Structure 1
Amino acid sequence: METRSSTDLPPVAKAYNGVDRNAFLFGWTPQAEIWNGRLAAIGFLGYLLWDLAGYSVLRDVLHIISY
C-alpha cells in the first residue's frame, strides 16, 4: 500500500458552482439548502428543549381539541 505525505493530499472540495459551501446565498442554490437544513435542525432542537421544559404546544392543542 502506498502512503502519501500530508503535503501531497488532494485539496478539499470547497465549492458548489464555484462558490464556497458555507456562503449564505439567497435563492435556489445548494448553499441555501444546506442553511435550511441547519436552521431546521436548530429549530427542532429548540422545540424539544421547550417541550422538556413543560411548554408543549402540541400537547396544549390536543388538549383544547379534546374538549
Structure 2
Amino acid sequence: MQTRNSTDLPPVATEYNGKDRNAFLFGWNPQAELWNGRLAMIGFLAYLLWDIAGFSVVRDILHLVSY
C-alpha cells in the first residue's frame, strides 16, 4: 500500500469525456456549460456592483413605467 504525505495534493481532474475541462471549445459540449456559468456569474456580479453604485436599469425601468 502506498502512503501519501498530508501535503500532497490529489491529481487534478483534467478530463471530462476525454477533453480538458477548462478548454474553450466551440459548440454544444460540457465545457460550454462551464464557461457559460462562469461568464454568467461575472455578469451578475458586475450588475450588482453597477446597481450598488446607483445606476440601476431595473429601477429606472420601473420608475418610467410608474408614470
Q: When the two structures are superposed, what TM-score results if normalisation uses the length of structure 1? A: 0.84
The aligned counterpart of 2:23 is 23
CA deviation after TM superposition for structure 1 residue 17, in Å = 1.6
The aligned counterpart of 2:38 is 38
Alignment identity in percent? Answer: 72
SS at match of 2:62: helix
SS at match of 2:51: helix
Which deviates the most, 9-18 or 46-55?
9-18
CA deviation after TM superposition for structure 1 residue 11, in Å = 3.7
Letter in 1 for 2:3: R
Q: Which runs of 5+ in 1 are unaligned?
A: none
More helix per residue? 1
Q: When the two structures are superposed, what TM-score results if normalisation uses the length of structure 2? A: 0.84
- Residues 4-60 of structure 1: CA deviation (Å, up to 9, x unaligned): 225xx8643211121100000111111000000000000000000000110000000
**Alpha carbon RMSD of aligned pairs, Å?**
2.1
